[in-house]
Structure 1
């Protein structure tokens, strides 16, 4: 595997892990009623633990890969002098903050669960915002640069909520079949759905704005690898939005008349969106390495 390919893979793992930390922590801290909070926190603890460690390790590995790409290949990936040189670049300036936020997420694992979730939500939000200061979002300066980074931050936060909340949503769905927890689970689903509308709308609006800022026009040149991959990403996001609409306006209303059928439909819709969302993250990780032309 080449360093370039490994960098794409690490970007994918890092994006997915950070979004999962954000989604799980926000879902547990802000959406679940007080009675259900301890159960969701307990059920999601291993998922959260793995996501935090994967996010931190992938962030460190991305720095090492950048050192290898800046130096003479694999031999320079763990050379401290090259690391310091990378940290002095535009990428490195943002990544120093990124590594600091990753350290805070690791620190959060060692504090009481009640406070841990809130700190993880904050740290993962900062990690997502910080990603708007690297890559194509960092190509502009001045007022345009500020607007682009702000827009991309909103894009990443809304995408993080949408994608990252799907696994804790699957955990929550299991409590629909338990009478003592059903009302709390329904309340959580209603809150998730309301904020989901906002997140989906923001993903679409900020995504279109990002494309217009970067390209200056809609991606129409199929001879450009960047634009072809971008069009595929747009198509997958449109499919995710369609599944979300079917889920909300066709499957959820059937919960009273056909509860078992509706629950199976909800689970299937979540898994479909997870697969589509994973494909989107992989595409983003890939075409972010191409020139935006």
Structure 2
């Protein structure tokens, strides 16, 4: 039961922090999107703080074996003051408080990036040492930031696609086109960092067992996301632009919205697998 709770908690925290970074970033390079993310970002910062507290308590309880709060407190204090995980947690909480009070502009983007990057200290990179540890953490952080940028863009485009009048559809078409260069950077970063992370964790070999199976499913889902992204980029996006000239944009906008929903659901499945993989050992046994 504790293992399931840990997976669910990790999934919720990952989704929250990925979107917390991706949404304000989308607003920075899509200034004409006319979306107000501030209330949503404040809510996400608050939820992220609560999930982080719950995660720290659950991790400390699992490591110490204590269940009573009074007996658990000394272990929590040691975790916070004497471990890298505790330092990363404190940095995340500070960043989330900043977003809570300043949920817009570059300040929100930088603070949310720090909060998201802190998740790397709960991954497999924490087991490495020396230079290998640094490069593994760097790869993990780049992977997280790229994933957050993609997830946030999908949600932002979906929010824009809710309104189907000419003005909002025109803004949606512009946003899809503007996302092209960012999408290329995201895909390249995710692919390279994903391969590097795999080599860091298991080396040039195939993994048997549950870890290998879940990792293979994750790769297949990522490939499905790439195909959906290509569909949006080369077909549905241009179709939406052409439909604006013809005044028949409702069908094109609906098709794009459906594709974005499928892409977002696929992305959430990938995040769920990442949360699960983080609780497993890559070593067979």
TM-score, with structure 2 as normaliser: 0.89
Aligned partners of 2:71, 2:160: CA distance in 1, in Å?
42
Q: Which residue of 1 aligns with 2:225?
A: 240
Tell me whether 1:287 sits opposite 2:274 in the alignment: no
2:253 counterpart (247, 256, 263): 263
The 1-side partners of 2:116 and 2:101 are apart by 22
The answer to whether the 8 Å contact 2:143/2:193 transfers is yes
Residue 165 (str. 1) matches residue 153 (str. 2): yes
- 1:104 alignment partner, one of 95, 98, 103: 95
Q: State the Cα distance separating 1:286 from its structure 2 match.
A: 0.9
CA shift, 1:143, in A, is 2.0
1:251 maps to what in 2? 236
Q: 1:248 to 1:83 in 2, by over 3 A?
A: same
Using the TM superposition, give the Cα deviation of residue 29 of structure 1 relative to its aligned residue in structure 2, in angstroms: 2.4
User: In structure 2, how many angstroms separate the alpha carbons of the residues matched to 1:102 and 1:289?
Assistant: 22
Per the TM alignment, residue 134 of structure 1 is displaced from its structure 2 partner at its CA by 2.9
Q: Report the secondary structure of 2:279's partner residue.
A: coil
* Distance in 2 between residues matched to 1:28 and 1:271, nearest whole Å: 20
What are the Cα deviations for residues 59-95 of structure 1, in whole angstroms up to 9, with x where unaligned?
Answer: 1111100121122243259832120122256xx4233
Segments of 4+ in structure 1 off by > 6 A?
none
Which ranges of structure 1 fall in alignment gaps of 5 or more residues? none
Which digits, 9 at most, give the CA deviation of each residue in 1:192-223, with x for residues without a partner? 222012101211221111111210024x333x
| In structure 2, C-alpha distance between the alignment counterparts of 1:260 and 1:78, rounded to whole Å | 60
Deviation digits for residues 233-267 of structure 1, max 9, x if unmatched?
11111111111111111211212146322211211
Q: Give the 5 Å matches for 1:139-150.
A: 139-150=127-138
How many correspondences in the alignment? Answer: 278
- Cα RMSD, aligned residues only: 2.2
Q: Please give the alpha-carbon distance, in whole angstroms, between the structure 1 residues aligned to 2:69 and 2:276.
A: 23
Report if the CA contact (8 A) 1:105-1:119 is conserved: no
Distance, in Å, in 2 between the alignment partners of 1:182 and 1:267 is 11
Partner of 1:3 in structure 2?
2
Distance 1:88 1:110 in 2: 26
Residue in 1 aligned with 2:195?
208
Contact 1:32 1:187 in 2 (8 A): no
Deviation digits for residues 25-83 of structure 1, max 9, x if unmatched? 111123223xx4xx301xx3443232212211111111100121122243259832120
2:71 and 2:227 map into 1 onto residues whose CA distance is 45
Quick check: 1:154–1:206 contact (8 Å CA) kept in 2? yes
For the Cα contact (< 8 Å) 2:19–2:148, is it kept in 1? Answer: yes
Q: Is residue 2:69 matched to residue 1:84?
A: no
| TM-superposed deviation, 1:4 | 2.3
